[in-house]
């Protein structure tokens, strides 16, 4: 499987679509992260709400995620995007 974009690189506030991960663990990482960039990792709960479970930043730029439904939210600020590694 090739790497896949989850959240396009930009400086505006945005959230990705839901992504469903089924592999034992999946690596997600920031791309083109400027200094001070951050993205919130949110897990979708059983009632359809989102809970922040982690923050990716230029100093902590990747995370292994267990199976589940997630989205990624970027506040307005430095340029950053998110991708799922192959």
What is the rounded average pLDDT of the residues 1-15? Answer: 90
pLDDT of 86 higher than 70: no
pLDDT of residue 59: 87
- Residue 19: the pLDDT is 94
| CA neighbor of 14 nearest in space, from 5, 2, 3, 27 | 5
For 26-73, write each residue's pLDDT tens digit.
999 999 878 899 999 999 999 999 999 999 998 889 999 999 999 999
pLDDT at residue 24, rounded to an integer: 86
Q: Is-contact 21 68, C-beta < 8 A?
A: yes
**pTM of the predicted model, to two decimals?**
0.90
Whose tokens are 């990792």? That residue is 41
């Amino acid at each position: 499987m090739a790497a896949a974009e989850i959240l396009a690189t930009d400086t505006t506030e945005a959230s990705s679509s839901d992504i469903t991960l089924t592999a034992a663990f999946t690596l997600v990482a920031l791309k083109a992260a400027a200094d001070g960039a951050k993205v919130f990792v949110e897990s979708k709960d059983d009632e359809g709400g989102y809970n922040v479970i982690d923050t990716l930043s230029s100093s902590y730029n990747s995370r292994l995620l267990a199976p589940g439904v997630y989205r990624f939210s970027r506040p307005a600020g430095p340029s950053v995007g998110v991708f799922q590694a192959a």
